[in-house]
């Protein structure tokens, strides 16, 4: 009775340990070691059922000092055992019969048991010098009574003598009770793992959808997690400055990477006509073609005026003075349109004299089909062509900037578990600046986590180096670092994280993986503005 109570207490201890274990290989070992301990078995095997086959997950034998699978690091090379062979159920094997019948099989001596094929067991014994006798095989059933695996124990030993004996009825009941708890633990672990996989696949699907939404940001949401984690690991390693005590655990890494994948999820509400605006005049189409048509009309009107002058001069003879005027007008129109075409690209900074020339062109008039005179450039066209940098006007930039507001709103509405509770803060801070001039909340450096500041630098560097933007080519590495150095000096990015970014050569590791070779030029770190070394 004392021995039985001890075994029941041990069963409870194992059950508690199973419910607390999150690592699947360790969980499998707990099941195997627990079953052996309860039944005083010398060895055993644990199988998982998948695709109508039983695959080995754990093999353990004390006498042979054999441990395979689990956390042992020893690979199991035995092939999976099929439930069906040549269209017929495989009842010859004990473990497959256990699955097919759903029953526990208790065998006193494998060498004297009819109805099963023990040739494989005998072959193993002959090679190892082992002697398989008693065998207890029972199914692992989940909460829906579906068999998910099989546990087989070998050679129960007497507590007093150590001799091999059959598994008793009590040992069978204890083993079956453990099997029930083990199946619940395995099912729980599997469900948690599947939910985690579903969650991770879902956030990657969102990121891919955002990248696919625009041909000009393709890959951005996939590159940011990589760069963010590169920089986080560099900050984790550093032993200098304010980051010398910064450390991240595996839980922290998972949380930060999740935030990086979701950092632009608010772009799902950003209109494509704004996100994909590749030129200043682009809406549904690029209105530069409408301007080209107006210039063609101006040139035809000039030609008509010239031909009329020729006719007025008599006998259709060419009028020299009128031809000079005509050719001068055509040349001017070509120059003006070329100017507008270049301005429309948005690749260069607009100077004051460029804006003055735009306004002057806006006063030019053309004759429409109804004979009405209209300005060459509408107010909206002047507004867009006057954009000083890039292709977005103030209203459109506000729409783009609103994606981070949408991101925060979306993420804060989700019931993140405790291990992911900082995702909204990490993801929502990548457009903030250290001096409080960023958006949307105007946070200062001391109001932001290190992780959010890391993501801000990652987002900026990716944007500078990206070669898939509509109005610019990817900048060379040296130029990107100079720009970011000035941003450090202006208190836009975290100075200590930027120094780690340079000192640990994170920029180079990222460049070698993602940048075009022609973008990677020679870097003299001493020339990077504000870099402390």
- Taking 70 as the threshold, does the pLDDT of residue 230 lie above it? yes
- Taking 80 as the threshold, does the pLDDT of residue 45 lie above it? yes
What value does the mean pLDDT take over residues 99-121? 91
Within 10 angstroms of residue 508's Cβ, the number of other Cβ atoms is 14
CA 384/CA 374 separation, integer angstroms: 18
- Taking 80 as the threshold, does the pLDDT of residue 155 lie above it? yes
- Model confidence at 152, pLDDT cuts 50, 70, 90, reads very high
Residue 8 pLDDT? 66
Mean pLDDT, the chain, rounded, equals: 88
214-267+410-527 and 2-192 share a CATH fold: no
89-93, 206-210, 383-387: least confident range: 206-210
- Taking 70 as the threshold, does the pLDDT of residue 188 lie above it? yes
Candidates 213, 274, 108, 223; CA nearest to 463 is: 223
- Taking 90 as the threshold, does the pLDDT of residue 23 lie above it? no
What is the three-class DSSP state of 27? helix
- Model confidence at 125, pLDDT cuts 50, 70, 90, reads very high
Dump pLDDT digits (tens) for 466-503. Answer: 876 655 577 899 999 999 999 999 999 999 999 999 99
- Taking 60 as the threshold, does the pLDDT of residue 181 lie above it? yes
- Model confidence at 9, pLDDT cuts 50, 70, 90, reads low
Residue 18 pLDDT? 66
Dump pLDDT digits (tens) for 391-416. Answer: 888 888 888 888 899 999 999 999 99
Kindly compute the dihedral angle of the four CA atoms of residues 316, 318, 321, 324, in this order, to the nearest 10 degrees. 130
Cβ atoms of residues 404 and 440 within 8 Å: yes
What CATH number was assigned to the domain covering residues 2-192? 3.30.450.40
- Looking at domain 214-267+410-527, its CATH architecture is Orthogonal Bundle (1.10)
- Taking 70 as the threshold, does the pLDDT of residue 20 lie above it? no
Give me the residue label for tokens 């120059």: 335
What value does the mean pLDDT take over residues 58-64? 92
Residue 475 pLDDT? 85
> What global pTM score does this model have?
0.70
Element (H, E) at 141: strand 135-141
Candidates 421, 420, 495, 503; CA nearest to 457 is: 495
Q: How buried is 432 (Cβ within 10 angstroms: 0-12 exposed, 13-18 middle, 19+ buried)?
A: buried
- Taking 90 as the threshold, does the pLDDT of residue 240 lie above it? no
Dump pLDDT digits (tens) for 417-461. Answer: 999 999 999 999 999 999 999 989 999 999 999 999 999 999 999
Dump pLDDT digits (tens) for 302-344. Answer: 998 888 888 877 655 566 788 888 899 999 999 999 999 999 9
Dump pLDDT digits (tens) for 31-42. Answer: 878 888 888 899
Q: Beta-strand (E) ranges in 408-460?
A: none
Per domain, the residue ranges of the chain are 2-192, 214-267+410-527, 288-391
Candidates 279, 377, 301; CA nearest to 337 is: 377
CA 454/CA 462 separation, integer angstroms: 12
Dump pLDDT digits (tens) for 384-397. Answer: 999 888 888 888 88
């Amino acid at each position: 009775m004392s021995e039985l109570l001890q075994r029941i207490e041990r069963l409870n201890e194992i059950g508690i340990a199973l419910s607390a274990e999150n690592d699947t290989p360790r969980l499998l070992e707990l099941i195997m070691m627990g079953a052996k301990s309860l039944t005083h078995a010398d060895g055993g095997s644990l199988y998982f059922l998948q695709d109508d086959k039983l695959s080995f997950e754990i093999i353990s034998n004390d006498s042979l000092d054999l441990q395979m699978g689990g956390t042992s690091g020893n690979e199991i090379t035995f092939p999976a055992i099929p439930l069906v062979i040549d269209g017929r159920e495989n009842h010859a094997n004990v473990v497959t019969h256990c699955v097919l019948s759903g029953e526990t099989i208790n065998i006193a001596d494998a060498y004297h048991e009819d109805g099963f094929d023990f040739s494989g067991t005998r072959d193993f014994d002959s090679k190892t010098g082992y002697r398989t006798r008693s065998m207890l095989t029972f199914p692992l059933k989940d909460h829906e009574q579906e068999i998910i695996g099989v546990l087989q124990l070998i050679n129960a030993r007497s507590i007093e003598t150590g001799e091999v004996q059959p598994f008793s009825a009590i040992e069978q009941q204890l083993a079956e009770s453990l099997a029930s708890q083990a199946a619940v633990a395995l099912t729980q672990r599997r469900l948690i793992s599947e939910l985690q996989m579903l969650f991770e696949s879902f956030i990657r699907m969102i990121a891919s959808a955002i990248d696919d939404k625009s041909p000009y940001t393709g890959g951005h949401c996939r590159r940011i997690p990589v760069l963010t984690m590169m920089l986080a690991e560099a900050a984790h390693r550093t032993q200098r400055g304010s980051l010398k005590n910064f450390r991240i655990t595996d839980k922290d890494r998972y949380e930060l990477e999740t935030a990086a994948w979701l950092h632009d999820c608010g772009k799902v509400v950003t209109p494509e006509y704004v996100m994909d605006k590749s030129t200043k005049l682009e809406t549904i189409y690029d209105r530069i073609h409408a301007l080209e048509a107006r210039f063609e009309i101006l040139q035809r009107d000039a030609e008509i005026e010239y031909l009329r002058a020729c006719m007025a001069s008599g006998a259709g003879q060419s009028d020299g003075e009128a031809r000079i005027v005509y050719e001068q007008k055509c040349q001017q129109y070509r120059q003006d349109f070329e100017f507008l075409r270049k301005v429309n690209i948005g690749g260069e900074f607009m100077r004051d004299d460029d804006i003055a020339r735009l306004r002057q062109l806006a006063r030019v008039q053309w004759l429409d089909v109804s004979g009405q005179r209209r300005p060459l450039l509408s107010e909206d066209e002047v507004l867009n062509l006057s954009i000083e940098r890039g292709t977005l006007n103030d209203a459109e930039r506000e729409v783009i900037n609103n994606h981070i507001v949408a991101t925060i709103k979306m993420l804060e509405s989700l019931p993140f578990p405790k291990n992911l509770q900082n995702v909204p803060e990490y993801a929502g801070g990548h457009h903030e600046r250290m001096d409080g001039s960023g958006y949307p909340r105007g946070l200062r450096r001391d109001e932001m986590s290190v992780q959010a500041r890391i993501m801000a630098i990652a987002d900026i560097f990716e944007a500078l180096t990206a070669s898939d933007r509509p109005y610019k080519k990817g900048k060379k590495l040296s130029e990107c670092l100079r720009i970011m150095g000035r941003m450090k000096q202006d208190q836009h990015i975290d100075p200590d994280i930027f120094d780690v970014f340079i000192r640990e050569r994170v920029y180079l590791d990222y460049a070698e993986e993602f940048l075009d070779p022609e973008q990677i030029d020679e870097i003299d770190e001493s020339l990077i503005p504000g870099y402390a070394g």
